[in-house]
Amino acid sequence: MAEYVTRVNNAKKEAVQALKDSFSGVNDYIFTDYRGLSVEQITELRTKLRELDAEYHVIKNNFAKLALKDMEMPVVDDYLVGPTAVALTHDESGPVAKELLKLAKDWPLEVKGGIVNGNVFDATQVIEYSKLPTRIELIAMLMGTMNAPVQNFVYGLNGIATKLVRTLQAVADQKAGE
Average pLDDT, the chain: 85
Whether residue 77 is found in the same domain as residue 28: yes
Residue 85 domain-assigned (yes or no): yes
Whether residue 98 is found in the same domain as residue 154: no
Residue 160 domain-assigned (yes or no): yes
Task: Give the integer Cα–Cα distance in Å for 30 and 108.
Answer: 16
CATH number at residue 50: 3.30.70.1730
Residue 1 domain-assigned (yes or no): no
Whether residue 119 is found in the same domain as residue 141: no
Whether residue 102 is found in the same domain as residue 31: yes
- Of 97, 112, 132, at which residue does a domain stop? 132
Number of independent structural domains in the chain: 2
Q: Which band of pLDDT confidence, cut at 50, 70 and 90, is reported for residue 32?
A: very high
Category of 118 on φ-ψ map: left (φ > 0), alpha (ψ -120 to 50) or beta: left
Q: At residue 2, does pLDDT exceed 70? A: no
Q: At residue 84, does pLDDT exceed 60? A: yes
Whether residue 159 is found in the same domain as residue 93: no
Q: At residue 150, does pLDDT exceed 80? A: no
Strands 54-59 and 84-89: antiparallel
Residue 174 domain-assigned (yes or no): yes
Contact 74, 120 (CB under 8 A): yes
Residue 53 domain-assigned (yes or no): yes
Contact 127, 93 (CB under 8 A): no
Whether residue 73 is found in the same domain as residue 91: yes
pTM to 2 decimal places: 0.73
What's the burial of 31, exposed, middle or buried (CB within 10 Å: 0-12/13-18/19+)?
Answer: buried
100-147: pLDDT as tens digits: 999 888 888 889 999 988 888 988 888 888 888 888 888 888 888 887
Whether residue 143 is found in the same domain as residue 127: no
User: Which tops the pLDDT comparison, 42 or 10?
Assistant: 42
The domain in which residue 143 lies consists of: 134-178
Residue 4 domain-assigned (yes or no): no
